[in-house]
């Protein structure tokens, strides 16, 4: 029996060893989180925060929980930007993030445990939540006033469901960019195209010089296909105009409307042109298997010259590549096609949705819709807002500034990424997979008809 | 053993006098050079992806992103940068998540195993009304998928006010583990020869004595096996953790952090291989500590003679 006892105690040790680990470490873990909040911005001027305490009363000792899709390392500037608010009002802002945001938010709402404020990246999801659960709280007056003052009508409309304004825009990004290398362009005598015809002429010129002009990739794990949907949306916005675009995502015209077919075919003139793609990777079908984050990198090796991608492609460039108008890489605006539709800008962004109407929650929601916060946040870099109250000089990097210029441009016609506005079955389902089929050889009309058939019944 | 064997194989032995048991034959066949070569090839193929992952975790970011790990042999470059980034790169130290994971896992193993041991003993060796019906009912709970219980459970936890602590995780993991634990341990306990129990009874032992001095030592291999499986299951769990613990650094486990290593737009995916190896260390240690208990014979020597 002695041996058995020894065995037993060893098993017990194995099982319990960890427990003592945990007990021992509890002691030194306690105060870890708070200390991070105090090391930044010690010289905050609290006078501009008095409006919040005047409007919402004493907020000292309260807590606001945030739930967001923005995960480390991108979340750091966010957390840092709340510090002045926390120090001056005494509100503790608890930032929580998840890669599984879309699914988990709905689980938490159904479980009776929603966050105070969620940063929802798709207006389509916002609509679903409002209509299915009724959990979101309409935005308070202060938020609406800020949005009326600093954001365009288009942006406010995306946060409005059935006539009630719920969600103020937070960050934004611009998708209508073509990345290129200014140094390569200069060395080869290429010029940044101002019109669509120039862009095609430039592509032809590169082909004549023996190069492959474009490189694209749409592989992105279980979201493979989304970069191609952006490409199509950008073209549709340029060939058929914003009104048709709105009708399209609202399904007032069928998904396979002839105007959409034309737009997709026009995109195909680049994406499915064996002379134009896929520099550095292979033939047309390699677009489907090239990782979206890698797709633009051959530009640095001069294996391709043009890469259509969003402003948030910037972190993919190696750290030693200078992003500037005269640097190693930069981006230009994807030119308009039909002049009558102005300069369409395709983009996306997050919206702040509140699930509680406690004063501190409303105060925070108002704070992050203000120009003061947006200016502070812009200074921390790598972030763009459609907030027109932000001084362009406050943007730290050239791409953010360029994006903000487009967003603040009165002539620009902004439209939100349509696949984020469509029902999930299409916008995050058949549209993606359809694009993979299309890239790998399927006919345009056939693919669009298939997607049309998956549109949910009204 | 071999003396009583009279299968066709024994009669077809190498020569008339020597009898060969099937297991000996199998051993002989499997240790032939051909079989050994096949085994080595399979082992290499099996280990190769893990080895590649391991090598990848030490390669510089640009190399990982541009070419496969096998290029290391022609262009050897090693760095600890990925590990540094994984361990110390975020605002919250990784050790916080490791501690959370341990704090979640240990009670989630100890609680169901303790409860299941008691229940299994009762089901196996005590007589009470509706015993078999109850046992089938407990085992039938196995069929309930975790996914359909998540939201109702969350509602209960929120109502009771346990949310944001470790309790929902401990309770949820214990609940989900119990049916299988009871069933498994019950079957092991049933296998203990009745003579042993009767002998103990004759000597005047009650249920508590029998449970403590006979059952526990004898089914130690089963307990160890279940400990390991439950440990690995809870350690690697992401779904239950995300639902009940969320992702605040107060309670989120290591898996939640690893899942987010790639960054908001997947630009940091080169960190994943290093993250995988960091997450692997503790389960491997636990496995190595416990594995010797369940490879030993279950009842070696207990009823000899």
Give B15-57 pLDDT, tens digit per residue.
444 566 777 887 777 778 888 899 999 999 999 999 999 999 9
Q: Tokens 């790990």 label which residue?
A: B69
Residue whose tokens read 């709970």: B141
Show the domains of chain A with their CATH numbers: 48-173+347-412 (3.40.190.10), 177-346+416-453 (3.40.190.10)
A160 φ/ψ angles, rounded to the nearest 5 degrees: -110, 125
Q: Running DSSP on this structure, what letter comes out for residue B266? A: S
**What distance in Å separates the CA atoms of residue A218 and residue B67, rounded to the nearest whole number?**
19
Label residue A22 exposed, middle or buried (CB < 10 Å: 0-12, 13-18, 19+). buried
Give the per-residue pLDDT at A43: 61
Tens digit of each residue's pLDDT (9 = 90 or more) over A342-381: 899 999 999 999 999 999 999 999 999 999 999 999 999 8
Is the predicted pLDDT of residue B68 greater than 90, yes or no? Answer: no
Alpha-carbon distance B139 to nearest alpha carbon in chain A (angstroms): 25
B146: phi then psi, degrees, rounded to nearest 5 = -55, -40
Cβ–Cβ < 8 Å for B23, B42: no
Chain B residue numbers with beta carbons less than 8 Å from the beta carbon of A72 are 90-91, 260, 263
C-alpha span between B179 and B170 (Å, rounded):
15
Rounded CA gap, B205 and B209, in Å?
A: 5
Q: Give the pLDDT confidence score for residue A24 in this predicted structure.
A: 39
What's the confidence (pLDDT) of residue A30? 36
Q: Return phi, psi of residue A295, to 5°.
A: -60, -30
* Chain B residues close to A4, C-beta within 8 Å: 217-218, 220
Is residue B181 within 8 Å of B230, Cβ to Cβ?
yes
B109 touching A (Cβ < 8 Å): yes
Q: Which residues of B touch A16 (CB under 8 A)?
A: 106, 110
The alpha carbon of A436 is separated from its chain's Cα centroid by a whole number of angstroms, namely 21
Tokens of B264: 């908001």
Q: What mean pLDDT comes out for the span B282-289?
A: 87
Is residue A80 scored above 50 in pLDDT? yes
Given phi > 0 = left and psi -120 to 50 = alpha, else beta, which region is A317?
A: beta
Q: What local confidence, expressed as pLDDT, does residue B293 receive?
A: 74
CA dist A87 and A91 (Å) reads 7
CB contact under 8 A, B217 and A5: yes
Contact A276, A270 (CB under 8 A): yes
Residues of B in contact with A97 (CB under 8 A): 247, 260
Q: What is the pLDDT of residue A40?
A: 43
Structure confidence by residue, pLDDT tens digits, A141-188: 999 999 999 999 889 999 999 999 999 999 999 999 999 999 999 999
d(CA A113, CA A303): 51
Q: What is the Cα–Cα distance from A345 to A231, expressed in whole angstroms?
A: 12
Asked if A293's CB is within 8 angstroms of B269's CB, the reply is yes
Give the whole-angstrom CA distance, residue A63 versus residue A368: 16
CB contact under 8 A, A316 and B267: yes
pLDDT tens-digit map of B79-105: 998 898 888 877 777 888 899 999 999
**SS3 label, residue A63:** strand
The structural domains of chain B, with segments of one domain joined by +, span 2-86, 94-295
Tell me how close the Cα of B244 comes to any Cα of chain A, in angstroms. 9
Distance from the Cα of A220 to chain B's closest Cα (Å) equals 9
User: What residue spans of A380-443 are helical by DSSP H?
Assistant: 398-408, 424-425, 431-439
Q: What are the tens digits of pLDDT across the range B142-161? A: 888 888 888 899 999 999 98
- Between helix A123-133 and helix A101-110 the angle, nearest 10°, is 20
Per-residue confidence band for A451, with pLDDT thresholds at 50, 70 and 90: very high
CA distance B211 to A337: 82
In the predicted structure, residue A270 carries a pLDDT above the cut 50 = yes
Candidates A73, A230, A290, partner chain B, best to mutate (most B CBs within 10 A): A73
Give the orientation angle of helix A2-29 with respect to helix B220-236, to 10 degrees.
Answer: 20
Q: What pLDDT sits at residue A258? A: 95
Nearest to B217 among A8, A67, A71 (CB): A8
With both helix axes pointing from N to C terminus, report the angle between B131-140 and B167-190 in degrees, rounded to the nearest 10.
130
Which of B66, B109, B220 has the CB atom closest to A4's CB atom?
B220
Q: Which run of H or E residues covers position A117? A: strand A117-120
CA distances to A178, A283, A442, A453 from A447, rounded to whole Å, are: 26, 20, 7, 10
The span from the CA of B259 to the CA of B241, in Å, is: 12
Within 8 A by CB and 6+ apart from B178, the residues are: B112, B115, B116, B119, B138, B141
User: What is the structure's pLDDT at B19?
Assistant: 62
- Residue A340 has which token pair? 């009558």
Q: Which residues of chain A have a CB within 8 Å of the CB of B66?
A: 297
Closest CB to B260 among A33, A36, A72:
A72
Q: Are A151 and A144 in contact (CB under 8 A)?
A: no
| Residue written as token pair 């047309």 | A284
Domain B94-295, CATH among 2.40.50.140, 1.10.3720.10, 3.30.1370.100, 1.10.510.10: 1.10.3720.10
Q: Which residues in chain B touch residue A14, judged by CB atoms under 8 angstroms apart? A: 224, 227, 286, 289-290
Contacts of A32 in chain B (CB under 8 A): 92, 96
Closest CA to A22 of B289, B107, B230, B102: B102
Please answer yes or no on whether B242 and A98 come within 8 Å at the CB atom: yes
Share of residues in chain B with pLDDT > 70 (%): 89
Nearest to B90 among A22, A73, A312 (CB): A73
1-60 in B: which are within 8 Å (CB) of A?
none
User: Which residue on chain B is closest to A280 by alpha carbon?
Assistant: B66
Considering only CB atoms, A107 lies closest to which of B99, B154, B290, namely B154
Mean pLDDT (whole number) for A217-228 = 90
Closest-CA distance of chain B to residue A418, Å:
19
Which H or E element spans position A202? helix A196-208
Backbone phi and psi for residue B269, each to the nearest 5 degrees, phi listed first: -65, -15
Which residues are within 8 A (CB) of A244 and not within 5 positions of it... i.e. 6 or more apart?
A236, A253, A257, A259
* Tokens 């998904």, residue located: A255
* CB atoms inside a 10 Å sphere around CB A127: 18
The DSSP letter of residue A340 is G
Residue B210, min C-alpha distance to chain A (Å): 14
Q: Is the pLDDT of residue B296 over 60?
A: no
* Per-residue pLDDT at A225 exceeds 80: yes
Average pLDDT over every residue of A198-219: 95
Q: Which helix (H) or strand (E) holds A222?
A: none
Angstrom CA distances, B164 to A196, B241, B249, stand at 54, 11, 11
Are B260 and A71 a contacting pair at CB < 8 A? yes
* Cα angle: B114, vertex B225, B243; to 5 degrees: 65
CA distance B205 to chain A (A): 16
CB contact under 8 A, A98 and B247: yes
CA distances from A426 to A196, A261, A443 (A): 29, 17, 19
User: What ipTM is given for this predicted complex?
Assistant: 0.73
Nearest CB to B224; choose among A11, A76, A312: A11
Residues of A in contact with B62 (CB under 8 A): 318
Which residue among A21, A29, A220 places its CB closest to the CB of B96? A29
Distance of alpha carbon A20 from alpha carbon A408, whole angstroms = 57
Judged by CB atoms closer than 8 Å, whether chains meet at B249 and A33 is answered as yes
Secondary structure of residue A344 in the 3-state scheme:
strand
> How many contacts, defined by CB atoms under 8 Å, are there between A and B?
138
Residues of chain A contacting B157 with CB distance shorter than 8 Å: 111, 113
Contacts of B151 in chain A (CB under 8 A): 107, 110-111
Residues in chain A with CB shorter than 8 Å from the CB of B260 are 71-72, 97-99
| pLDDT reported for residue B305 | 38
Give the residue among A202, A209, A248 at the shortest CA–CA distance from A419. A248
């Amino acid at each position: 029996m002695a041996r058995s006892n020894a065995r037993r105690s060893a098993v017990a040790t194995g099982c319990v060893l960890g427990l003592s680990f945990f007990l021992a470490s509890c002691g030194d873990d306690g105060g870890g989180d708070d200390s991070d909040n105090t090391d930044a911005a010690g010289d905050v001027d609290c006078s501009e925060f008095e409006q919040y305490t005047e409007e919402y009363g004493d907020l000292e000792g309260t807590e606001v929980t945030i739930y967001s899709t923005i995960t480390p390392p991108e979340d750091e500037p966010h957390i840092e930007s709340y510090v002045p608010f926390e120090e001056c009002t005494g509100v503790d802002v608890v930032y929580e993030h998840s890669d599984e945001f879309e699914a988990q938010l709905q689980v938490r709402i159904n479980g009776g445990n929603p966050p105070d404020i969620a940063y929802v990246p798709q207006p389509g999801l916002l609509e679903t939540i409002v209509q299915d659960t009724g959990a979101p709280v309409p935005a308070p007056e202060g938020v609406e006033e800020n949005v009326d003052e600093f954001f365009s009508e288009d942006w406010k409309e995306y946060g409005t469901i059935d006539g009630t304004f719920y969600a103020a825009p937070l960050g934004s990004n611009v998708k209508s960019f073509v990345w290129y290398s200014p140094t390569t362009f200069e060395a080869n005598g290429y010029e940044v195209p101002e019109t669509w015809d120039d862009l095609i002429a430039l592509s032809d010129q590169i082909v004549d010089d023996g190069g492959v002009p474009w490189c694209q990739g749409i592989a992105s794990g279980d979201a493979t296909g989304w970069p191609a949907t952006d490409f199509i949306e950008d073209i549709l916005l340029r060939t058929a105009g914003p009104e048709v675009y709105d009708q399209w995502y609202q399904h007032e015209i069928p998904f396979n409307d002839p105007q959409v077919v034309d737009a997709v075919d026009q995109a195909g003139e680049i994406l499915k042109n064996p002379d134009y793609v896929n520099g550095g990777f292979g033939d047309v079908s390699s677009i489907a298997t090239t990782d979206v984050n890698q797709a633009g990198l051959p530009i640095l090796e001069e294996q391709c010259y043009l890469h259509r991608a969003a402003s948030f492609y910037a972190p993919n460039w190696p750290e030693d590549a200078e992003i500037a108008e005269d640097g190693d890489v930069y981006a230009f605006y994807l030119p308009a096609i039909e002049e009558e539709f102005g300069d369409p800008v395709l983009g996306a962004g997050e919206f702040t949705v509140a699930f509680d109407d406690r004063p501190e929650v409303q105060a925070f929601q108002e704070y992050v819709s203000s120009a003061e916060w947006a200016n502070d946040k812009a200074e921390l870099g790598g972030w763009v807002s459609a907030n027109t109250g932000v001084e362009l000089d406050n943007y730290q990097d050239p791409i953010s500034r360029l994006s903000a210029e487009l967003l603040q441009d009165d002539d620009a016609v902004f439209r939100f990424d349509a696949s984020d506005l469509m029902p999930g079955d299409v916008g995050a389902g058949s549209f993606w997979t359809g694009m993979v089929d299309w890239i790998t050889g399927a006919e345009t009309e056939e693919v669009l008809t298939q997607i049309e058939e998956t549109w949910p019944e009204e | 053993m071999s003396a009583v064997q009279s299968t066709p194989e024994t009669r077809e032995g190498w020569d008339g006098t020597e009898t060969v048991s099937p297991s000996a034959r199998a051993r002989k066949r499997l240790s032939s050079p051909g079989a050994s070569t096949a085994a080595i090839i399979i082992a290499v193929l099996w280990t190769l992806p893990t080895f590649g992952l391991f090598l990848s975790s030490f390669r510089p970011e640009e190399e990982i992103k541009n070419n496969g790990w096998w290029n290391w042999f022609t262009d050897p470059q090693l760095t600890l940068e990925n590990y540094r980034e994984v361990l110390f790169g975020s605002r919250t130290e990784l050790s916080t998540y490791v501690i959370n994971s341990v704090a979640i896992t240990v009670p989630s193993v100890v609680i169901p195993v303790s409860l299941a041991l008691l229940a299994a003993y009762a089901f196996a060796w005590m007589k009470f009304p509706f015993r078999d019906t109850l046992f089938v009912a407990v085992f039938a709970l196995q069929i309930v998928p975790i996914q359909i219980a998540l939201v109702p459970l969350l509602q209960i936890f929120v109502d009771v006010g346990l949310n944001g602590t470790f309790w929902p995780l401990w309770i949820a993991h214990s609940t989900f583990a119990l049916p299988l634990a009871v069933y498994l341990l019950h079957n092991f306990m049933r296998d203990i020869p009745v003579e042993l129990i009767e002998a103990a009874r004759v000597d005047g032992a009650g249920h508590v004595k029998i449970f403590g001095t006979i059952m526990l030592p004898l089914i130690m291999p089963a307990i160890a096996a279940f400990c390991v499986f439950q440990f690995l299951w809870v350690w690697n769990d992401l779904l239950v953790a995300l639902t009940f613990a969320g992702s605040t650094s107060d309670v989120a486990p290591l898996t939640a952090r690893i899942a987010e290593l790639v960054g908001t737009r997947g630009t940091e995916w080169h960190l994943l291989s290093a993250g995988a190896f960091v997450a692997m260390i503790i389960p491997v240690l636990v496995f190595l500590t416990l594995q010797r208990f369940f490879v030993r014979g279950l009842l070696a020597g207990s009823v000899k003679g």
